[in-house]
A = this chain, B = another copy of it.
Amino acid sequence: MKLYGFFRSSAAFRTRIALNLKGLSYDQAPINLRANEQRGGDYLKVNAMGIVPTLIDGEVAIGQSLAIVEYLDETHPQPPLLPKLPADRARVRAIAMDIACEIHPVNNLRIRRYLLHELGQDERALELWMNHWTKLGFDGIEPMLADDKRTGDFCHGDTPSIADICLVPGVFNARIYPSFDMTPYPNIRRIFDNCMKLDAFQRALPERQPDAV
């Protein structure tokens, strides 16, 4: 398998964690988002949306990190990244999407660039923007973890799931600005720390990727 990604992309980060948890080996094809390589002609043939990551598995090309993780879970069921019961699967997917659909899309590089260049905002406005959306999201996720007996060492039970795969890159993004206060989120912090004890998460870290600068 081959993964088109970028060391700093939090969506690519998710898929690296999933591949590692599944024990799958893969080649990396770096797409430098800072140099706009995702909009270059060649990569648009791989991913018409011009976003990373894209997973190539033989003839199959898949964009969208959560579609990739679900695909990996269906094609390589062990260890499972989703629980068995529909209600539990829905809980895990909802936590994952609270990050992947509410926080991350609003705070990613292309949005920050638009705010800076098209809307003439400054770095301070960017910082307030990012912290605002992260806080709204974490303020929702923390009680979902705190108030549900299904929360364990990880977001759901004692093994990592799609929710943790999204949570860890989400915490990395939250920490971009030291002004973001993580103290109101003891469960998020605890689960993040548990994830970071695992080799699958460690090996997926941005700074450990071949394109890290």
Chain A residues within 8 Å of B, Cβ to Cβ: 47-51, 57, 60, 62-64, 66-68, 70-71, 74-75, 86-87, 89-91, 93-94, 97-98, 100-102, 104-106, 111, 114-115, 118-119, 121, 125, 128-129, 132, 136-137, 139-144, 147
In the docked arrangement, what's the CA distance between A92 and B6, Å?
A: 24
Which residues of B are found within 8 Å of A132, using beta-carbon distances? 114, 118
In the docked arrangement, what's the CA distance between A110 and B79, Å?
A: 38
Contact status A140-B71, CB under 8 Å: no
In the docked arrangement, what's the CA distance between A50 and B100, Å?
A: 16
Which residues of B are found within 8 Å of A137, using beta-carbon distances? 49
Given A102-B51, A106-B105, A140-B48, is A93 in contact with B67 using a C-beta cutoff of 8 Å?
Answer: yes
Contact status A62-B94, CB under 8 Å: yes
Which residues of B are found within 8 Å of A62, using beta-carbon distances? 87, 90-91, 94
In the docked arrangement, what's the CA distance between A104 and B75, Å?
A: 29
CB distance from A47 to the nearest CB of B (A): 8
Which residues of B are found within 8 Å of A93, using beta-carbon distances? 64, 66-67, 70
